[in-house]
Amino acid sequence: MITVHHLKKSRSKRVIWLLEELAMPYTLINHQRDPITNLAPKSLQEIHPLAKAPIIVNDDITICESGAIMEYILNKNSSDQLRPTINSAAYYQYLEWSHFAEGSLALPIISTLLMQMETRDGTCPLDHYIAKEITVDFSYIEQTLAQQPYFAGESFTAADIMMTIMLEIAQSLKLLNDKTHIKNYLANVQKRKAYQLALSHG
């Protein structure tokens, strides 16, 4: 059975959501963030040197990094759910969006989140880069969701789980105000039962 090391309000929601979608059993271990720094506690460092959520442990395998964990779980699942057939056109959309969520989109979103927490005096060089990334990324996402219901095409996949968490943070930062298709997409995926179950773990 897979053990999921979880931090509330974190990317570990992705892993719980996927396991719930696949109806796979798991054990959840909750770790508490440091109340002052909001960083992960020592208990996570004892599991993996990177000390970030999510981490999963299954037999002799320990993995940190949500995208890698999603692939591990999909490989363990005997059905072909939530990942398009390898080498199909949808599979490459799935791969692009799964990687885009952490490889590209996380940087401008998490930077915006962190920059809002600090006291700033004027514009910094990073601001121009972040503003450009936000414009390019969200217009591409909006354009994609205007043409198809899910990131990999007609069917819900694990790429939607990877993308949703970043889009939710973007929404909380008011980056989606004029993005009707993205907002409709979020409202739609948030109705899923497995999403609601993952949400109930915080």
CB of 62 to ligand GSH, least distance (A): 13
Q: Which is nearer to ligand GSH, 48 or 153 (CB)?
A: 48
- Rank residues 153 and 161 by Cβ distance to ligand GSH and give the closer one: 161
Least CB distance to ligand GSH at residue 127 (A): 22
Contacting positions for ligand GSH (CB under 6 A): 7, 10-11, 39-40, 52-54, 65-66, 102
* DSSP 8-state assignment for residue 29: E
CA dihedral 33, 99, 174, 9 (to 10 degrees): -20
Cβ 46 to ligand GSH, closest distance in Å?
A: 14
Least Å from the CB of residue 43 to ligand GSH: 12
In degrees, rounded to 5, the angle at the alpha carbon of residue 168 between the alpha carbons of residues 18 and 54 is 45
Shorter beta-carbon distance to ligand GSH: residue 98 or 153: 98
Does residue 35 contact residue 83 with C-beta atoms inside 8 Å?
no
- Residue 66 Cβ vs ligand GSH, minimum distance, rounded to whole Å: 4
- Closest to ligand GSH by CB, 36 vs 147, is 36
The CA distances from residue 182 to 95, 124, 171, in Å, are: 19, 29, 9
Q: Residue 82, class by beta-carbon neighbours within 10 Å (0-12 exposed, 13-18 middle, 19+ buried)?
A: buried
Using the minimum distance from each CB to ligand GSH, give the nearer residue, 1 or 114: 114
The two structure tokens encoding residue 47? 């599991």
